[in-house]
Structure 1
Amino acid sequence: MSALSRLTAIETRLFFREPMVVFFTVAFPPILLVILGAIPAFRRPDETLGGLRVIDLYAPIVVAMGLALFALNGLSQILAAYRERGVLRRMRTTPVRPGLMLGAQLLMSTILSVGTMLVVLAIGRLAFDVRLPRQLPAYLLGYVLAALAMFAIGLLVASLAPTGKSAGAIGTLLFFPTVFLAGLWVPRASMNDVLRTISDLSPLGAGVQSLQDATAGHWPQLLHVAVMLGWTIVAGGLAARYFRWE
């Protein structure tokens, strides 16, 4: 195994030793989908939504929410805590450089978030007859772009937060408006024009619409692709500029 693979395996074992983090990042999105699907009104077609059901709209929203949980409440807090405890500083004296730790964290978060996405899609399909993406390559593209944008924001939080607790607090503050604009409380189809425009310019709002478009058989709109790439470049650039290993 390569050093990256070994470190990723170690970090994954350490991650699963934190039951609360595991619950909210891995288990909570599928549970939330089950709760929403259990509401009878959410399983009935709605003419105001173009004949779709509310649960059809919420499946990609829950997938996007899982990304936000990993980026803002997992990745950022773990890296900030490692820097606070001097883990990254001590790693600089070993053959395993801190950059490898960053790569391992990103790889672990990506693998686990993809696993969560697959579970959400499977539950939606098997339990509530939510259709699978008609345009699978477009769905994967939208998911990857949304993941890149959110992980870049998570790294920016980790770079600016002085401690693990402050990273958790900042991540929580960012989480709620981010998932609100993604449509968690008010689906994008029910938003007014102003709120939907703001949502279009947010990383998860653009991500959710791209996933919904792919589910319907369309490719992501150029606006949403540009928005997600813009967040990735800006947040990633700032994270690289201000990230400190100690």
Structure 2
Amino acid sequence: MNATNATWSLIKVETKLSLRDKTGPLWGVGFPLIVLIILGSVPVLNEPHDVYGGRTALDLYVPVFALFNLAILALSAMPTMLAAYRENGVLRRMQTTPISPARVLGAQVAANSATAIVAVVLFLAVANIAFGVRLPENVAGFVVGWLLAGAALISIGMLITALAPGRGVATAIGTVLFFPMMFFAGLWIPLPQMPPLLQDISAYTPLGAGATAMQAASGGDFPDLQPLLVLTGYTVVCAAAAIRWFRWQ
């Protein structure tokens, strides 16, 4: 088996294991989809408001649910799985085989990225078909914001994996980070309704910057440079730290 076939086989295995773990599909896709349907059924959330720039609250929530999915995959599913591999000696044993631990990391990223793509397409389709939410008017800006947010979160997830000694600690760190990040993304209070201080803090958090970029693109504007630079900064710093401190065993 050549290197390409081995890599594809590993991606298929990691995808099956990720689906079997249920964290990504259930909490990363199923849960936000159900919440989206519930919120879409509330008439007041489908009414345009000046505070939202003439858009509805549901227009703002769709990008937030896409970020919810990315956060679950990057902060919970991936670090937990990889930390368990290291804890159980799987990565150490793979160092003696042609399938290097680095390929395992790549396969994990690929498997979770595939789930994330399916999720964002599903959220946009359901919101548009069932509730009349407009698809992103600036597609390029939306894709750039989503990709940079995903890169930032994956880098943070890799850093969690590097620092956590085992599965339990990785799960705890991911959970502690998840809730404040989602708050600043506007999950509980839409960004335009946050007090100025919270808006300022949100702009420098990975999910706050991601939500700002994707919501701007949904409304037809290409994201401003600031949220894109913030996401790039998280990606570079956390990826460098993860590479520096990552342990295979």
TM over 0.5: yes
CA distance in 1, matches of 2:192, 2:23: 33
Verify the 8 A CA contact 2:185 2:202 in the aligned structure 1: yes
The CA deviation at 1:64 is 0.8
In the alignment, structure 1 residue 243 sits paired with structure 2 residue 217: no
Single out whichever of 49-58 and 134-143 deviates more from structure 2: 49-58
CA distance in 2, matches of 1:76, 1:20: 11
Alignment of 1:1-246 (within 5 A): 2-246=5-249
After superposition, what is the alpha-carbon deviation per residue over 1:210-239, rounded to whole angstroms, capped at 9, x for unaligned?
A: 111111111111101110000001111111
Verify the 8 A CA contact 1:29 1:116 in the aligned structure 2: no
After superposition, what is the alpha-carbon deviation per residue over 1:29-72, rounded to whole angstroms, capped at 9, x for unaligned?
A: 21221121122221122233232211111011111111101011
Report the secondary structure of 2:20's partner residue: coil
Give TM-score, length-normalised by structure 1.
0.97
C-alpha RMSD over aligned residues = 1.1
Letter in 2 for 1:133: P
The CA deviation at 1:20 is 4.7
The CA deviation at 1:165 is 1.2
The CA deviation at 1:111 is 1.0
State the number of aligned residues: 246
Letter in 2 for 1:169: A
CA distance in 2, matches of 1:159, 1:106: 15
CA distance in 2, matches of 1:20, 1:219: 32
Verify the 8 A CA contact 1:75 1:154 in the aligned structure 2: yes
Verify the 8 A CA contact 2:152 2:232 in the aligned structure 1: yes
Gaps of 5+ in 1: none
Report the secondary structure of 1:217's partner residue: coil
CA distance in 1, matches of 2:63, 2:171: 25
Give TM-score, length-normalised by structure 2.
0.96
CA distance in 2, matches of 1:192, 1:109: 34
CA distance in 2, matches of 1:17, 1:223: 38
What percentage of aligned pairs have identical amino acids? 41
Single out whichever of 191-200 and 36-45 deviates more from structure 2: 36-45
Gaps of 5+ in 2: none
